[in-house]
Structure 1
Amino acid sequence: MLVAREKRKSNVAEYILYMWQLEDMLRAMQMDIRQVERNVVSQFQVDEDTRKEIREWYDNLIEMMKREEVVKGGHLQVVKNMVNELTELHYYLLHESQDMKYKQLFMMTANNLLDYRRKTNLPEEVSDVELALHALYGHLMLRLQKKEINSQTAMAMESFSRMIAYLAAKYKAIEENEEKMFD
């Protein structure tokens, strides 16, 4: 909860990846709040009121996942909505704005996205933004498992990371009303 709150404020892409990780963690713990309490909540060095708030937050996530039927796979609607918002921003920057920097970043990423889509067999409906996030999440999981990552994959991940970081920064600027999305 504390980490999610901070990531949500600072970087929407990191928040999305973090929430995907939490969804997988809750699945691994069979949606059992007692396991979450024992293995996660108890690790926070906080006062009792904050610990209770953290426990309730995880319990609410579990209930949302059950209600939305994403216990075995998939993502919470609130997280999917954020991916969709990033996707809308992506299309806007590519097709309606004069943001040459983003267009250039995307062009440098496009072949890597095509290669990744072919390798994963993800459906065409999966947007380029979600595809890049998917790749970055897989990369994160490989790094956490301390698996070796070849240089070609590392370069592709770097291109995804640059594209997503730019989108996240634009998203934050829009959220903070520093910029208007549709000018």
Structure 2
Amino acid sequence: MQIAKKTKENNISEYVLYMYQIEDLIRANNLSLDTIVTTILKPQIQDESILDAYKVWYADLIKQMKIEGIQKKGHLSDLNEILMEMSLLHNTLINIIKEPKYLKVFEGALPSLKAFQAKSNAGDINLIEIGFNALYSKIILGLKKQSISEASNEAFKSIATMFGFLAAYYKKMKKGELDFANN
């Protein structure tokens, strides 16, 4: 909860990946708040007030997942909204503003994004979501302690670099510091 809040403020890309993990953690615990509290929260959090705040946060997320029908797969509507904003910003940066720095990192990541799209049978989902799926798959591979080839590591690095730039532009956009009209 506190990590999510700070990450959302500082790096939206890291926030999305963090929330993907939280969604999967909730699913792995069968959307059971009691199980999450007993096995994850209580062993790590000694302060009762902080524990109570986390209980409320997880309870709200579980409720939202049930309401939105994403108990098995899918993402919270809040995350989908962020993904859409990031996709729109991405398209604005490359097609309208033609931001040189962003274009360069995007062009560097594009072959990796296309390769991941082909390997994952992702269909026609946008490149931003494909990139998040790729980076999340790297996290999962790391948690499973599976080896990753040098070529795959380079591909993940190019996608992560692009998302770092996109997160910085997103933060500027949210602060009202991006002037789309004068570009």
TM-score (normalised: structure 2): 0.95
Q: Distance in 1 between matches of 2:65 and 2:181?
A: 33
Partner of 2:177: 178
- The residue correspondences of 1:133-144 to structure 2 (distance < 5 A) are 133-144=132-143
Partner amino acid for 1:159? S
The worse-fitting range, judged by mean Cα deviation, of 8-17 and 104-113 is 104-113
Partner of 1:20: 20
- The residue correspondences of 1:17-56 to structure 2 (distance < 5 A) are 17-45=17-45, 47-56=47-56
Offset of residue 112 of structure 1: 1.2
Offset of residue 46 of structure 1: 5.1
Offset of residue 44 of structure 1: 3.9
- The residue correspondences of 1:84-95 to structure 2 (distance < 5 A) are 84-95=84-95
Offset of residue 182 of structure 1: 4.8
Partner of 1:96: 96
Offset of residue 41 of structure 1: 1.9
Partner of 1:153: 152
Partner of 1:117: 117
Instruction: Name the % identity.
Output: 29
Partner amino acid for 2:65? M
Q: Taking structure 1 as reference, are residues 170 and 43 closer, same or farther at Cα in structure 2, changes over 3 Å only?
A: farther
Q: Deviations over 1:117-160 (max 9, x none)?
A: 11110111x11111111000000111122110001101100110
Partner of 1:2: 2
Aligned residues: 182
Is the 1:89–1:181 contact (alpha carbons within 8 Å) kept by the matching residues of 2? no
Question: Where in structure 2 are there 5+ consecutive unaligned residues?
Answer: none
Partner amino acid for 2:68? E
Offset of residue 8 of structure 1: 0.8
Q: CA RMSD in A?
A: 1.3
Q: Distance in 2 between matches of 1:33 and 1:13?
A: 26
Is the 1:44–1:51 contact (alpha carbons within 8 Å) kept by the matching residues of 2? no
Q: Deviations over 1:28-79 (max 9, x none)?
A: 0000110111122213435322211110110110000000000010001000
TM-score (normalised: structure 1): 0.95
Q: Distance in 2 between matches of 1:17 and 1:88?
A: 19
